[in-house]
Structure 1
Amino acid sequence: MVDEERAGEVVDTPPERKSRKLPLTAVAVVLLLALGIGGYLWQSRQPASGGTGESTPKQAKVELYLPLDPAFVVNFRDAESLRYLQVGVTLMSHDPAAIEVAKAADPVIRDALVALFSNQDFAIISDAAGRQKLQADALVAVRRIVKARLGRPGIDALYFTSFVMQ
């Protein structure tokens, strides 16, 4: 009879416990996603810095080249004989205004470089260190001319595109 009473009676089963792991996981994922996006935005607004502590430009500037044609040809005398030097020179700058100034001052630049090249000693410029010093001296001469006209050096590099001695 007890079984019959229980048969008619609806037994309340305890309600199933809902899993709280799903909402907690969803909140954690949303929180991590928000922190990641915030960190990315914060980092992208910070100025980029190199290893030297200087800030790098946001956009890399284009290198502009100006070949000084025709090549420079000079004669110079050493202890033994008359020597011949032919040097092809190209200027490089990131500043378009400096390139325009160098184009306008081409005769002045050529004169300064011819004077520099013709006053060289064959024994010095016949090795690599001498050529590098000559290249550095030529860059200083060109920068001086451009700075006098533009107010800033403007020329970043000077390259010897050919170097023939005889």
Structure 2
Amino acid sequence: MRCTDYRSIYLAALLLCLTPTLGLASSGGGEKAAGTYPGYVKLEPPLVVNLASQRRAQYLKADIQFFIETAHDAELVALHMPLIRDRMITLIGGRAADQLASKEAREQLRTELLAKLRETMTQQAGAPAISAIYFTGFLIQ
């Protein structure tokens, strides 16, 4: 086989390997494609927040997914993601770990977050955009 044949095979293999990655990059890092809503949008990266503690440093790591009704709402959420993350950090940060540890406390936090984010999105984008919030991981350390 000639050297150019190996180059062609190598190039074809490289393109095949990169094709799925390029597809994710063009759709916003793995968010759902247009037309597949209602559905979920995952908060990436997970939310990490410092908690109040007099004894030692503590933090919360939360994996969060938003339930979104339409592709337009998903676009609004993606556009305003820095603001959404800021509001979540502001609302959660500084709370004590014992204020978040119980099931009831997590439900209360979910309710507060949803209300705050819907209010923020309505002010900024003209629509609440987020229908529900789900914790798919919740670690206090």
SS in 1 for 2:95: coil
Q: Contact 1:75 / 1:85 at 8 angstroms: preserved in 2?
A: yes
Q: Please, which runs of 5 or more residues in structure 1 have no aligned partner?
A: 1-60
Match of 2:99 among 108, 120, 124: 124
Q: Please, which runs of 5 or more residues in structure 2 have no aligned partner?
A: 1-35
Q: Aligned residue for 1:135?
A: 110
State how far apart, in whole Å, the 1-side matches of 2:130 and 2:121 are. 8
Structure 1 residue 128: Cα displacement: 0.5
State how far apart, in whole Å, the 1-side matches of 2:119 and 2:62 are. 20
1:154 counterpart = 2:113 = no
Q: Which has the higher contact order (CA 8 A, sep 6+)?
A: 2
State how far apart, in whole Å, the 2-side matches of 1:100 and 1:115 are. 23
Runs of 4+ in 1 over 4 A off after TM superposition: none
Task: Give the superposed CA RMSD.
Answer: 1.7
Q: Aligned residue for 1:145?
A: 120
What amino acid does structure 2 have at the position aligned with 1:71?
Answer: P
SS in 2 for 1:157: strand
Structure 1 residue 147: Cα displacement: 0.9
TM-score, reference length from structure 2: 0.68
State how far apart, in whole Å, the 2-side matches of 1:145 and 1:165 are. 26
**% identity of equivalent residues:** 25
Residues 130-160 of structure 1: per-residue CA shift (max 9 Å, x gap): 0111111111122122212332313110111
Q: Contact 1:101 / 1:149 at 8 angstroms: preserved in 2?
A: no
Q: Contact 1:65 / 1:91 at 8 angstroms: preserved in 2?
A: yes
State how far apart, in whole Å, the 1-side matches of 2:127 and 2:57 are. 38
Q: 1:66 to 1:113 in 2, by over 3 A?
A: same
State how far apart, in whole Å, the 2-side matches of 1:162 and 1:133 are. 16
SS in 1 for 2:107: helix
State how far apart, in whole Å, the 1-side matches of 2:37 and 2:72 are. 13
Q: Contact 1:75 / 1:82 at 8 angstroms: preserved in 2?
A: yes
1:94 counterpart = 2:69 = yes
State how far apart, in whole Å, the 2-side matches of 1:64 and 1:87 are. 19
What amino acid does structure 1 have at the position aligned with 2:76?
Answer: V
Structure of higher CA gyration radius: 1
